[in-house]
Amino acid sequence: MKEHVLLGDEALALGALHAGVSGSFGYPGTPSTEILEYLVDNHETKGGPVAQWCANEKTAYESALGVSFAGKRAIVTMKHVGLNVAADPFMNSSLCQIKGGLVCVVADDPSMHSSQGEQDTRFYADFAMVPLFEPTNQQEAYEMVAEAFDVSERFRVPVIMRMVTRLAHSRAVVRVADSARDQNALGKGVPADWMLLPALARKNYAKMIEKQGPLGEWSDGYARNVFVPNPARTDIAVITSGLGRNYYAENLADLAAACGPSGLPTALHVAVMPLPVALIRRVCESARTVLVIEEGMPFLEKQLRGLLPKGGAVIGKYTGHLPRAGELNPDNVRAGLSRALSETGAAPLPPRPSVLDTFEAPELPARPPQLCQGCPHHDSYSALNLACARLNEREGKVSTVVAADIGCYALGAVAPLKAIETIVCMGASIGMARGAAEAGYKYAFGVIGDSTFLHSGITGLVDAVSAKTPVTVLILDNSIVAMTGCQPTMLPSSQLEKIVLGVGVDPAHVRVIEAKPNMIEENARILMEEAEWRGVSVIIMVRECLEAFRLRKKKDAIAKSSGGKAPDA
């Protein structure tokens, strides 16, 4: 065994390599990005298994499905809201008889550090009736990938691995194997197992239901579901999942001191889904009150209410013992434990000394995120603001709507620009601008980045063209997926105009302009001109991201110094 210091994401990626993965696909999204970055780098620098970025999570999942159908192991990566995009193939794949192991890694983001929602992936696993693995540390992230592949192939189902931000982006020493498992042999699945025509889908659905019993038995016997009984303690028991186990463990020493002769409560850590029902029932029958400590939404807590014997109580996030929104941490778990103990008649936990008790922290000014200095989006939005101000002045009322999207350019919502009015999900900008135009706003702008346009904006543009909606689409082309760390855009900038023309936008109303400080006045004039067009117009505002420019120049310099031919600028 070797030891490496790895991010949770990197540990999972290395675990996939050592488990014999043959194909890895994904779309960048914090906090999942580093998983596929690690695998792509391994492919490009070491000739490892295929690893590719895809246009969106749906196409990534479908590519992984193709690898599985071919008999080999595949992994697909995304953040929690990305699973919404991939939901169609994901849900349907649960009815396919998976051949090569298929693991879908989804990174949830409690507290919404870089997301528009706290969505909990466990609800998707329950909905699809597929297994879910939830590591609590980097070592488990590494080891559980192989177990997930094995379960996928044993039960012939797709499997989810749920990560969360704190685990994905923290480092630890990980002991890894000296060698990797061989990749599966090439060999197609049985066509009837993969064609979801209604007659076949009904049969496969019946098979999926039949698998639930064996999956439940597997879950009850899974070694990472850790059950620690204490028959002497009948007032309270604890069930943890994910990082909740770590935060509970950080309070165990003080809890043991406060518990007295009766000892620590009965405890169960739930590491997988389907839920280990037999183990959970044992916990529920052992105590009058069960405290659930789980990272994310109160999924387990809700499920437990149907398993609890008469007269018992389940407490946690629904009851206010733990915060419903945001992340767990040792302190709010300690407060929940202390309140629960008090309510059952036991002594509460003593206050934990804090460095803040003896140190007065200074008031720090708020530092909201902003666009980078010199960002091309600043110049694009300056032109848009100028155009909107003049259009509204001309009409004598507010006649503009500016719908935007997810990406760096979402920062156009904050001061000093305050240029955009809506941010909902990837690709929504064009559809929302179209809807606002149909509702009666004369000038409707949809602002979208180049990568997001390729991800899920093209279909919105198709709708607008089909309906001949008077809408102006701004594609902010900075040549890179900047928000998540400068991953490559799926197609080069030169292809965007061809795509726009290909879906039927009038060539006379497709404009490609440069986003530069000295062109703000001219660009505002062009925006106003196209806004007056009573049909679909598309303006592609082009200038390379400064960070991408620096990375490209650094790569060029390295290539030249090593004797290689640097790519053209």
User: Which range (218-227, 428-437, 486-495, 555-564) has the least confidence?
Assistant: 555-564
CATH code at position 129: 3.40.50.970
Verify that 135 and 234 share a domain, yes or no: no
Query: Who contacts 336 (Cβ-Cβ below 8 Å, separation ≥6)?
Result: 291, 293, 316, 321, 322
Verify that 250 and 203 share a domain, yes or no: no
Q: Pick from 383, 345, 323, 363: which is nearest to 516 by CA? A: 383
> Residue 462 domain-assigned?
yes
Decide if pLDDT at 569 tops 60. no
Verify that 108 and 36 share a domain, yes or no: yes
pLDDT of 311 reads 64
Decide if pLDDT at 568 tops 50. no
> Residue 555 domain-assigned?
no
pLDDT of 357 reads 61
Verify that 33 and 110 share a domain, yes or no: yes
Which is higher by pLDDT, 491 or 151?
Answer: 151
> Residue 361 domain-assigned?
no
Q: What is the number of residues in the chain? A: 569
Q: Say what the alpha-carbon torsion angle 538, 543, 547, 550 is, to the nearest 10 degrees.
A: 150
Distance CA 426, CA 84 (A): 10
Type of residue at 415? A
Read off the pLDDT of residues 247-278 as tens digits, 9 standing for 90 and up. Answer: 999 999 888 888 876 789 999 999 999 999 99
Distance CA 297, CA 276 (A): 19
Verify that 385 and 517 share a domain, yes or no: yes
Per-residue pLDDT band at 10 (split at 50, 70, 90): very high
Type of residue at 298? P
Task: Show which of 221, 240, 257 is a domain's final residue.
Answer: 221
Q: 3-class DSSP state for residue 561?
A: helix
Read off the pLDDT of residues 388-420 as tens digits, 9 standing for 90 and up. Answer: 999 999 999 999 999 898 888 888 888 888 998
Distance CA 99, CA 68 (A): 6
Decide if pLDDT at 309 tops 70. no
**Residues of the chain with pLDDT > 70: what percent?**
96
User: Which range (6-20, 125-139, 363-377) has the least confidence?
Assistant: 363-377
Verify that 278 and 292 share a domain, yes or no: yes
Q: Residue 540 is inside which H or E element, if any?
A: strand 536-542
Verify that 248 and 273 share a domain, yes or no: yes
CATH code at position 289: 3.40.50.920
* String of DSSP letters for 17-49: HHTTEEEEEE---TTTHHHHHHHHHHHHHH--S
pLDDT of 408 reads 83
> Residue 170 domain-assigned?
yes
pLDDT of 312 reads 73
> Residue 558 domain-assigned?
no
pLDDT of 567 reads 47
> Residue 94 domain-assigned?
yes
Verify that 20 and 136 share a domain, yes or no: yes
Task: Show which of 221, 256, 277 is a domain's final residue.
Answer: 221
pLDDT of 355 reads 55
Give the ranges where 440-492 is alpha helix by DSSP (H). 450-452, 458-467
> Which pTM does this prediction carry?
0.80
Task: Show which of 351, 386, 420 is a domain's final residue.
Answer: 351
Query: Who contacts 555 (Cβ-Cβ below 8 Å, separation ≥6)?
Result: 566, 567
Give the largest CA-CA distance in the chain. 83
Segments forming the whole domain that contains residue 141? 2-221
Verify that 320 and 426 share a domain, yes or no: no
pLDDT of 361 reads 66
Which two three-digit tokens encode residue 535? 């049909």
* Cβ neighbours, 10 Å, residue 173: 10
Verify that 89 and 217 share a domain, yes or no: yes
pLDDT of 489 reads 82
Q: At what angle do helices 458-467 and 428-439 cross, to 10 degrees?
A: 20
Q: Say what the alpha-carbon torsion angle 409, 412, 417, 418 is, to the nearest 10 degrees.
A: 160
The overall average pLDDT reported for the chain is 90
Verify that 83 and 193 share a domain, yes or no: yes
Read off the pLDDT of residues 61-88 as tens digits, 9 standing for 90 and up. Answer: 988 998 999 899 999 999 999 999 999 9
Verify that 184 and 296 share a domain, yes or no: no
Q: How many domains would you assign to the chain?
A: 3
> Residue 113 domain-assigned?
yes
Distance CA 236, CA 234 (A): 6
Q: Find the distance separating the first CA and the last CA of the chain, reported in whole Å.
A: 44
Highest mean pLDDT among 213-227, 274-288, 329-343: 213-227
pLDDT of 247 reads 93
What's the mean pLDDT in 482-499? Answer: 84
Read off the pLDDT of residues 535-547 as tens digits, 9 standing for 90 and up. Answer: 999 999 999 888 8
> Residue 194 domain-assigned?
yes
